[in-house]
Structure 1
Amino acid sequence: MANDVALFDSPVFQEDVQQIVREPLPWEAYRGQNVLVTGASGMIPLYIVGVLLAANDEHGLGMHISGMVRNVAKAERRLSGALARTDFTLVDGDVAEPMEFDRNFNTVFHGASPARPVLHNGSPVTTLKANTLGTINLLDSLVAAGGGSFVLLSSSEVYGSVSGVDLIQEDSVGELQHFAPRASYSEGKRIAETALAAYSAEFSIRPLTIRFGHIYGPGMALDDGRVQADFLADVVRGRDIKMMSAGAPTRTYTYVADAVLGLFYAHLIGSDSVYNVADPQGNVSIRQLAQKFASARPERGLKLAFANEADSGAYSPVASLGLASDRIQSLGWAAKTNLESGVSRAIRSFEQGPLI
């Protein structure tokens, strides 16, 4: 079975972006803009592209959206429904290399970054370059174009290990083991945030960093390697959900459309430069998440299968390492898709296809 879905053509995806663009936000702020979205075939960036194109349709904004990718063949499959549009251009390029664009951009959404954990260990230099050199190259391009808005898609991993808190606030500081290949992602995101702060201080750049928690939903690849993708793959393929441990650690799991809606709330009406985006109702243990996936299609009779049978009864909740969402909620944002519905929608995106 295919590991991916032609996301732009998915009915679930189209329902999601239509719901986002009908939010009472000042979409007029994008009127006439040239917008760049990097990593445009990734789950979150592709949702950003979809929302911006839907905003053009809904509000007649006259935007032009450029989606920058390294793998054009993959992007053409994922973005197939956007390719014939005159308000969208697919750009072939690597953000880690100096670049020249055919147009000047008013807003950049920088999402180009290897997100799969296996890549952080297997290709740490590529991961580091995308987050550090990629961010600096894009900021240089924006400065050369006269300035504008730069939205960095960051991660909860910038906090490192934060002790003594239940939910991590934007001003929290934790510890990171930086002298390790795996740190290419977390430290790379930290440097990217510092670069954005520096360029904002010295040049005409409006900075915005969005720190996402654990995002799930349509657009996840079944071979992604993160637990939410592993559980999705098990359900899609009709297998019992394999648990490698008791699954006690807790995280804030957020449906992708809610995460992207939070991004647009922050960008269009927010005044702070950093926002966590996480669904507080999605703060559950890995085991609870697995149970949500197993029960999403009860007719399949799926259950949890523990690699170590002793773990099957060993569940005990531990302190949360999720993100606090007070700041983004103060703008009026609230997650609209609960965990049960989000899990079901992710599964439905593969059931309806088209698969690639």
Structure 2
Amino acid sequence: MIKDKVLLEDLMFLNEKVFNSGYFNNKTILVTGATGLVGSLIVKSILYANQELNSNISVVASVRNIEKANLIFSDFKHSEHLFFAKADLLQLLDFEQKVDFIIHTVSITASKEMVDNPTGVLLTAFESTKQLLEYMKLNPECRMVYISSMEYYGQLFDDHNVTEEKLGYIDMSKPRSSYPESKRICEMLCNSYASQYNLNVCSARLAQTFGAGVPFSDNRVFAQFAKSAMNKTNIILHTTGKSEGNYCYTADAVYGIFILLEKGVRGQSYNVANSHSSILDMANMVAEKIANNQIKVEVCIPENAASLGYAPEVRMKLNSDKLKALGWSPLISLENMFKRMIISWESKG
């Protein structure tokens, strides 16, 4: 039984938007990074569709830690459609089940690790993507969505209509650049395989995604803001807050990914974003509307800011018209993203 009412609403929403059509019925879907935020919601949405719609979809969840996976998917522990694969994605893949669809979410996303382990960031991204594409060469009827990132764009100064063909600057001398550069090389790898071997693979450039399912332990900026609102403590910014972010609610992002799994054009990339705000404006919104003006926003930039792995200042607004043309219609605003995440946290005590 799912106790988190926000998560339950999200799963019902995905049933309506994704699974009611029956397109994925009786298929097998491989989800890499299945214990991550996006990966875990994808897996749960499939299992919930099986439970409520009798969709008969098998899901192969590629994970590093089976014990952690059992905990995350405890609401579906008796499902006969869930299979854990403790696969080394740096090795040639061989699954017992024939896989019809792949959603590749694996990535090292911790800013500190991008600085401390840039080779690991690059090699994990490249080699895991390569192995999945090699699997598709042997199973050419398979379709895949590679989960990329808005960081693909690098620095596009003052650009408020960022469509998929644009490309900004990445400073290759910075170790943290390993992350955005890994997204570029993996998209290029996917597009090369799509062209050379006629494989059905496309890329989803996700904005920062949050909502129900984010662990309370998360320490990213949006989570820190939400906790400040909950605890009635002032929001402390460690940058000027001028950098602009693009955001998407978890369930809306998963909805978009499934649309691409069905309708995405091979070798193409698609922005997945629904809200846009500067960090400072978002902090002020949280202080005013989430904390009801009971807290304030303070700017306090540490002397060692350069060593903390913060992304370079970016000012851009993603354009998601390309995905919307395939039928995507996201629903949750930035304000409601915060509200739903906090309600979800509170439901878990």
* Fold match (TM-score > 0.5): yes
Report the secondary structure of 1:21's partner residue: helix
Farther off after superposition, 108-117 or 58-67? 58-67
Q: Distance in 1 between matches of 2:42 and 2:286?
A: 26
1:332 matched to which residue of 2?
327
CA contact (8 A) 2:118 2:176 kept: yes
Go from structure 1 to structure 2 and tell me whether the alpha carbon gap of 1:189 and 1:293 turns closer, same or farther (over 3 Å shift). Answer: same
Shift of 1:88: 0.8
Shift of 1:345: 0.5
2:346 matched to which residue of 1?
351
Go from structure 1 to structure 2 and tell me whether the alpha carbon gap of 1:343 and 1:62 turns closer, same or farther (over 3 Å shift). Answer: same
The letter for the 1-side match of 2:42 is I
1:90 matched to which residue of 2?
84
Farther off after superposition, 147-156 or 170-179? 170-179
Q: Distance in 1 between matches of 2:3 and 2:194?
A: 37
Go from structure 1 to structure 2 and tell me whether the alpha carbon gap of 1:115 and 1:302 turns closer, same or farther (over 3 Å shift). Answer: same
Farther off after superposition, 112-121 or 150-159? 112-121
1:187 matched to which residue of 2?
181
Q: Distance in 2 between matches of 1:201 and 1:131?
A: 20
Farther off after superposition, 169-178 or 20-29? 20-29
1:294 matched to which residue of 2?
287
2:124 matched to which residue of 1?
130
Q: Distance in 2 between matches of 1:246 and 1:179?
A: 23
1:3 matched to which residue of 2?
none
Q: Residues 228-267 of structure 1 correspond to what in structure 2 (within 5 A)?
A: 228-267=222-261
Q: Distance in 1 between matches of 2:145 and 2:347?
A: 32
Between the two proteins, what is the percent identity of the paired residues?
26
Shift of 1:144: 2.5
Counterpart among 200, 211, 215 of residue 205 in structure 2: 211
Shift of 1:297: 4.5
Q: CA offsets per residue over residues 107-137 of structure 1, 9 Å max, x none?
A: 1100011122222112223222221000011
Counterpart among 270, 282, 292 of residue 275 in structure 1: 270
1:80 matched to which residue of 2?
74
Q: Distance in 2 between matches of 1:30 and 1:24?
A: 9
The letter for the 2-side match of 1:63 is I
Structure 1: runs of 5 or more not aligned = 1-7, 309-317
CA contact (8 A) 1:218 1:256 kept: yes
CA contact (8 A) 1:242 1:307 kept: yes
CA contact (8 A) 2:159 2:317 kept: no
Shift of 1:350: 0.9
Q: Distance in 2 between matches of 1:88 and 1:161?
A: 40
Go from structure 1 to structure 2 and tell me whether the alpha carbon gap of 1:200 and 1:271 turns closer, same or farther (over 3 Å shift). Answer: closer
Farther off after superposition, 291-300 or 234-243? 291-300
CA contact (8 A) 1:251 1:285 kept: yes
Go from structure 1 to structure 2 and tell me whether the alpha carbon gap of 1:221 and 1:25 turns closer, same or farther (over 3 Å shift). Answer: closer
Q: Distance in 2 between matches of 1:183 and 1:319?
A: 14
Go from structure 1 to structure 2 and tell me whether the alpha carbon gap of 1:195 and 1:26 turns closer, same or farther (over 3 Å shift). Answer: farther
Report the aligned-residue RMSD: 2.4
Q: Distance in 1 between matches of 2:3 and 2:132?
A: 29
Q: Distance in 1 between matches of 2:157 and 2:128?
A: 31
Report the secondary structure of 2:159's partner residue: coil
The letter for the 2-side match of 1:352 is S
Counterpart among 137, 144, 149 of residue 155 in structure 1: 149
- 1:69 correspondence with 2:63: yes
Q: Distance in 2 between matches of 1:146 and 1:246?
A: 49
**Number of aligned residues:** 336
CA contact (8 A) 2:157 2:314 kept: no
- 1:322 correspondence with 2:317: yes
Q: Residues 114-125 of structure 1 correspond to what in structure 2 (within 5 A)?
A: 114-125=108-119
Q: Distance in 2 between matches of 1:178 and 1:216?
A: 29
Go from structure 1 to structure 2 and tell me whether the alpha carbon gap of 1:71 and 1:235 turns closer, same or farther (over 3 Å shift). Answer: farther
Report the secondary structure of 1:166's partner residue: strand
Counterpart among 195, 199, 202 of residue 196 in structure 2: 202
The letter for the 2-side match of 1:334 is S
Farther off after superposition, 95-104 or 169-178? 95-104
Farther off after superposition, 105-114 or 134-143? 134-143
Farther off after superposition, 106-115 or 55-64? 55-64
Structure 2: runs of 5 or more not aligned = 302-312
Counterpart among 106, 109, 116 of residue 103 in structure 2: 109
Go from structure 1 to structure 2 and tell me whether the alpha carbon gap of 1:96 and 1:262 turns closer, same or farther (over 3 Å shift). Answer: same
Report the secondary structure of 2:85's partner residue: strand
Report the secondary structure of 2:277's partner residue: strand
CA contact (8 A) 2:237 2:300 kept: yes
2:306 matched to which residue of 1?
none
